[in-house]
């Protein structure tokens, strides 16, 4: 089976946030666990959307995650300060990808790269709906394909 490859070298990251690895995020191998990394990526996504004035969900509509791919490059340990850089790419009619570059600024180590696919969802109709124009307009630099 082919290994996952993520390359965001040409992508623009338009947001960043810091998080500290907690002792409860450490697994039996004494490094940041996969489950904790997924939670941190989810938190970075939520902060990103919030700071751009985008609500992940309201009573009628929301953004749902369709997939998540993570490529680990180095270990992280308890009390490490991590920098999560966040951007968007590959818009389509219904959604796109939120991308993440996670580094440890103390020694400039790349910890992980991740990509989270998303679509817009109407909870009342229980179906995927087209991306709102207001969301698309928030990120005009993204190559939008219809």
> pLDDT, tens digit, for every residue of 51-105?
999 988 776 789 999 999 999 999 999 999 999 999 999 999 999 999 999 999 9
Q: Is residue 15 part of a domain?
A: no
Q: What is the domain range of residue 77? A: 23-138
Q: Is residue 59 part of a domain?
A: yes
Q: Which among 71, 100, 134 has a CA at the least distance from the CA of 13?
A: 100
CB 4 within 8 A of CB 71: yes
Confidence band, pLDDT 50/70/90 cuts, at residue 146: very low
pTM given for the model: 0.92
Q: Is residue 143 part of a domain?
A: no
Confidence band, pLDDT 50/70/90 cuts, at residue 145: very low
CATH code (residue 102): 3.10.129.10
> pLDDT, tens digit, for every residue of 3-35?
888 888 777 899 999 999 999 999 999 999 999
Q: Is residue 118 part of a domain?
A: yes
The number of folded domains in the chain is 1
Query: Which stretches of 26-145 are assigned E, i.e. beta strand?
Result: 61-72, 81-89, 95-104, 109-122, 127-129
Q: Is residue 89 part of a domain?
A: yes
Q: Is residue 11 part of a domain?
A: no
Q: Is residue 17 part of a domain?
A: no
């Amino acid at each position: 089976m082919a290994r996952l490859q993520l390359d965001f070298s040409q992508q623009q990251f338009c947001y960043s946030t810091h998080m500290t690895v907690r002792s409860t995020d450490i697994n039996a191998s004494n490094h940041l666990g996969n489950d904790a990394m997924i939670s941190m990526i989810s938190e970075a996504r939520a902060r990103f959307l919030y700071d751009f004035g985008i609500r992940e969900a309201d009573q009628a509509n929301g953004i749902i995650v369709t997939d998540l791919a993570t490529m680990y490059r180095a270990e992280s340990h308890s009390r490490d300060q991590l920098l999560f850089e966040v951007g968007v790419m590959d818009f389509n009619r219904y959604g796109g990808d939120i991308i993440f570059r996670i580094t440890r600024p103390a020694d400039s180590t790349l910890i992980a790269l991740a990509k989270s696919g998303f679509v817009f969802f109407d909870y009342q109709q229980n179906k995927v709906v087209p991306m709102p124009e207001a969301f698309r307009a928030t990120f005009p630099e993204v190559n939008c394909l219809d």
